[in-house]
């Protein structure tokens, strides 16, 4: 028995997260399956930014560092993110970019494991994770070596030379989920520390950093946290490590007394030492609005819905496009998959462009991956039906064969 | 013969920069002498941000990386800043914070001078400059040593062990200006590279990086560039060094082909390799609006006006408060001073608070400095008259002795 649109309407009608959609300003005529690249705009954000710009900056000027609480935003936003990733208070702060935060924590971890020189990751990890480690290894010369092991060989590669295991929890391309608690325990058994990149997890998956005994984590603010383009990122340091962590980007905001203007760096207590320069207040305020929404949603429900959206998408693609239309480039089992599905097709680029022309926004990842993300806060089950109907039409009618869809843009 | 307010009205009437004031949204009843901490709000910025948020982000979503040119903002903003600091195109890019950019370039410079381990700076330099160097030195161990020499001893300290001379062009507290061309030449004669922090210079002083043969520079976006609170910073790398500079924060935006998603880092050509993570688009757009205004102003006129504003302020303080009311904590000679004056007084903190209560915004720097900055784009000569009149009244009436002004806030 195949599914009908009415089945998905029924799911929407009983969706306990349905009301969250009203908190986002989604454009008419668009089916947005790319919230894993750039989250949608919260309705509250434009007014928050207008107030920040016109009143706090324009009218109150420098005083707003105190009176509008700008100076406290990195901590406040971090505390709002903490429960979203299963962290007790005092362990998360918003700062810089994911890349910069990876550098801070990878360097700190190496310092905490003298005599061990390996940072272990996997090939095909999100590029910036690997690049930042290469930059650190180049800077530190013989003191650090980046070793990449395939997923199934990671556990074996955790030997006595490994200082840090750095992985992205949900793979950006395949959506495959790592066993965060299991690999964390394995790393600890080998005497290594762990650094989890949760960019594709926070706000869509259930992550329990404290329960897993995680050491460090980072994540970006512009995907499921809806913080806007290039939003500040965040980082997590387990309470037990906070006294020992010396991250090398020792800017003035990480000082114990930034406004004492001392010559000598003294790291702040707790998470504040993870700060570096002056925080970008526009980005922090927008991120706070996005996080506020996510933090009110039940994580188990977010995860359950995200999985069902993905399962339904795959079922409907098989039913409506035919079982051989695409190769599966993600796990078929929703439990092993993040909040996205990936299909492969030699003409993937052109197909994604043809879908975009129809208002179905997914994205393409070289060489041949069509990636569709499911933001459980604002997607409806019927959106999945409608998106797959467009995909089936594109394949049936051959839309994608038009020249205008096959020409690659500089940035995709 | 003492000055009268009419003398300053006459200066305003013939000020060739006077029309720029209309491009800023300045609050009623405020005399803002703190544009060197946070520049005022350009009138064009709120609409630009509203459009960015509601249309580019909210309506066009992920597509705006291409269609709205987000991906190009760091380069575009950098190119707009370049002429403001006397740089030919292709040498400036906007990115991260000043602190993060200092780390990138200091690390790169050390790599370019193998065998030399000293980074030379001065005590009392802006804290983040010193802290970042301490963080780098701690990370690199024996390979780097931070040496501080007093201003008059810097030339002598430039020996064969110095890899990099890092100085802030205009001292944040005293306003004293370093001889940028002279010290650059002296460093080069000793085989060292130079890194100039132009946070208090760009947009107010004439800086000629290319003409001085400078190697590297950084600066912040939220002072005289009017980019808003925590605006992105910028960095300059002289064309001749661009091929050799390997900065360690090797994020994906610095890759030669970020969207090829390769495992191996290959630095981009030119300035793009100075990028790290995904740029904060809200901050970049606001900075672009601020820079657009500054870039249209003649640098020589900005510098001339900034000097006159400072000279007049000091003259009027002597005339109206009495010659012994304050000790001078900045050079008396405008040619040796940046776009600010500093006075010292044991009750400096309370006096600054009493001024703020009257709408005169300056700031206090521990332990006893009253600092007043002069943003030549939007300050009027009569503002100087009025501000000093308030200062004289505060001193005469003893406003500052009120308890509420003497209690220090956590952040000042």
Q: Which residues of chain B does A230 touch, with a Cβ-Cβ cutoff of 8 Å?
A: 70, 278-284
Residue whose C-alpha is closest to residue B204's, from B80, B309, B95 = B309
Provide the shortest C-alpha distance from residue A91 to chain B (in Å).
22
- pLDDT for B412: 40
Q: What is the mean pLDDT of residues A39-53?
A: 98
Among candidate residues A296, A321, A352, the one where a domain is terminated: A296
User: Count of domains in chain A?
Assistant: 2
Among candidate residues A257, A281, A296, the one where a domain is terminated: A296
Is residue B156 part of an annotated ligand binding site?
no
pLDDT digits (tens, 9 = 90+) for A329-338: 999 999 999 9
Contact B230, A280 (CB under 8 A): yes
Residues B148 and B30 in one domain: no
- pLDDT for A45: 98
Residue whose C-alpha is closest to residue A48's, from A285, A294, A292 = A285
Q: Which residues contact A120 (CB under 8 A, 6 or more apart)?
A: A147, A148, A149, A154, A157, A158, A162, A164, A165, A166, A192
pLDDT digits (tens, 9 = 90+) for A105-116: 999 999 999 999
Q: Is residue A63 part of a domain?
A: no
Q: Which of A249, A275, A357, A407 to mutate to test the interface with B (most CBs of B within 10 A)?
A: A249
Closest by Cβ to A282, choosing from B135, B251, B282: B282
B54 to each of A284, A315, B48, B50, how far by Cα in Å? 17, 35, 10, 6
Residues B199 and B73 in one domain: yes
Percent of all residues in chain A with a pLDDT value above 90, rounded to a whole number:
94
The gap between the terminal CA atoms of chain A, to the nearest Å, is: 38
What is the edge-to-edge ordering of all strands in the sheet holding B369-373? B327-328, B340-344, B369-373, B363-365
Residues A285 and A198 in one domain: yes
d(CA B84, CA B94) in angstroms, rounded, equals 13
A139 to each of A58, A143, B137, B144, B271, how far by Cα in Å? 42, 9, 12, 12, 19
Residues B243 and B310 in one domain: no
Containing structural domain, residue B358: 5-41+298-406
Is residue B99 part of an annotated ligand binding site?
yes
Q: Is residue A53 part of a domain?
A: no
Is residue B259 part of an annotated ligand binding site?
no
Provide the shortest C-alpha distance from residue B254 to chain A (in Å).
9
Residues A281 and A354 in one domain: no
Residues B251 and B398 in one domain: no
- pLDDT for B409: 56
Q: Is residue A60 part of a domain?
A: no
CATH number at B14 reads: 3.90.1150.10
* 3-class secondary-structure state, position B325: coil
Q: Do A58 and B138 touch (CB under 8 A)?
A: no
d(CA A146, CA A142) in angstroms, rounded, equals 11
Residues B292 and B307 in one domain: no
Closest by Cβ to B281, choosing from A61, A230, A254: A230
Q: What is the mean pLDDT of chain A?
A: 96
Q: Is residue B55 part of a domain?
A: no
Residues A336 and A366 in one domain: yes
d(CA A206, CA A297) in angstroms, rounded, equals 11
Q: What's the burial of B367, exposed, middle or buried (CB within 10 Å: 0-12/13-18/19+)? A: exposed
Q: Which residues of chain A does B39 touch, with a Cβ-Cβ cutoff of 8 Å?
A: none
B222 is a catalytic site residue = yes
Q: Which residues of chain A does B357 touch, with a Cβ-Cβ cutoff of 8 Å?
A: none
Q: Is residue A212 part of a domain?
A: yes
- pLDDT for A409: 56
**Model-level ipTM above the cut of 0.90:** yes
Q: Which residues of chain A does B65 touch, with a Cβ-Cβ cutoff of 8 Å?
A: 38, 229, 411
* Per-residue pLDDT at A306 exceeds 80: yes
* 3-class secondary-structure state, position A94: strand
Q: Do B261 and A366 touch (CB under 8 A)?
A: yes
Integer-rounded Cα Rg, in Å, for chain A is 22
- pLDDT for A412: 40
- Positive or negative torsion for Cα B18, B24, B25, B30: negative
Instruction: Kindly indicate the confidence band of residue A400, based on its pLDDT and cuts at 50, 70 and 90.
Output: confident
Q: Is residue B59 part of a domain?
A: no
Q: Is residue A62 part of a domain?
A: no
d(CA B49, CA B63) in angstroms, rounded, equals 17
Q: Is residue B61 part of a domain?
A: no
- pLDDT for B411: 47
Residues B96 and B223 in one domain: yes
Residues B98 and B150 in one domain: yes
- pLDDT for A411: 47
Query: How is residue B41 annotated by DSSP?
Result: P
Instruction: Kindly indicate the confidence band of residue A132, based on its pLDDT and cuts at 50, 70 and 90.
Output: very high
Residues B172 and B253 in one domain: yes
CATH number at A215 reads: 3.40.640.10
Residue whose C-alpha is closest to residue A199's, from A121, A300, A98 = A98
d(CA B381, CA B378) in angstroms, rounded, equals 10
Q: Do A138 and B30 touch (CB under 8 A)?
A: no
- pLDDT for B406: 83
Residues A277 and A138 in one domain: yes
Among candidate residues A245, A266, A296, the one where a domain is terminated: A296
- pLDDT for A402: 86
| pLDDT < 50 positions in chain B | 410-412
Q: Do A100 and B249 touch (CB under 8 A)?
A: yes
């Amino acid at each position: 028995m195949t599914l009908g649109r009415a089945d998905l309407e029924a799911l929407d009608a009983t969706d306990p997260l349905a009301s969250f959609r009203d908190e986002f300003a989604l454009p008419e005529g668009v089916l947005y399956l790319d919230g894993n690249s750039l989250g949608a705009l919260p309705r509250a954000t434009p007014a928050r930014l207008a107030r920040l710009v016109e009143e706090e900056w324009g009218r109150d000027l420098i005083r707003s560092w105190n009176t509008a609480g700008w100076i406290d935003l990195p901590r406040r936003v971090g505390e709002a993110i903490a429960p979203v990733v299963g962290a007790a208070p005092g362990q998360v702060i918003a700062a810089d970019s994911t890349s910069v935060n990876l550098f801070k924590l990878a360097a700190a971890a190496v310092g905490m494991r003298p005599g061990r020189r390996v940072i272990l990751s996997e090939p095909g990890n999100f590029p910036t994770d690997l690049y930042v480690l290469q930059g650190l290894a180049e800077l530190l010369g013989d003191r650090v070596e980046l070793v990449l092991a395939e997923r199934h060989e990671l556990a074996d590669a955790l030997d006595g030379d490994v200082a840090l295991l750095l992985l992205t929890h949900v793979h950006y391309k395949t959506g495959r989920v790592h066993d965060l608690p299991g690999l964390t325990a394995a790393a600890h058994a080998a005497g290594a520390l762990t650094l989890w990149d949760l960019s594709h997890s926070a706000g869509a998956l259930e992550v329990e950093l404290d329960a897993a005994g995680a050491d460090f984590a980072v994540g970006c603010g512009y995907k499921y946290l809806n913080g806007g383009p290039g939003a500040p990122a965040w980082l997590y340091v387990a309470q037990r490590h906070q006294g020992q962590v010396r991250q090398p980007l020792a800017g003035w905001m990480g000082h114990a007394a930034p406004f004492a203007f001392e010559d000598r760096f003294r790291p702040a207590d707790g998470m504040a030492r993870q700060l570096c320069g002056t925080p970008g207040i526009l980005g922090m305020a927008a991120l706070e609005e996005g996080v506020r929404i996510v933090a009110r949603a039940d994580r188990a429900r977010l995860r359950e819905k995200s999985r069902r959206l993905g399962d339904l998408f795959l079922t409907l693609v098989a039913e409506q496009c035919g079982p051989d239309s695409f190769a599966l480039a993600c796990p078929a089992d929703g439990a092993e998959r993040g909040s996205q599905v990936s299909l492969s097709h030699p003409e993937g680029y052109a197909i994604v462009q043809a879908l975009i022309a129809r208002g179905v926004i997914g994205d393409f990842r070289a060489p041949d991956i069509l990636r569709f993300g499911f933001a459980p806060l604002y997607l409806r089950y019927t959106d999945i039906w409608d998106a797959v109907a467009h995909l089936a039409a594109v394949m049936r009618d051959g839309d994608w064969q038009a020249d205008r869809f096959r020409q690659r843009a500089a940035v995709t």
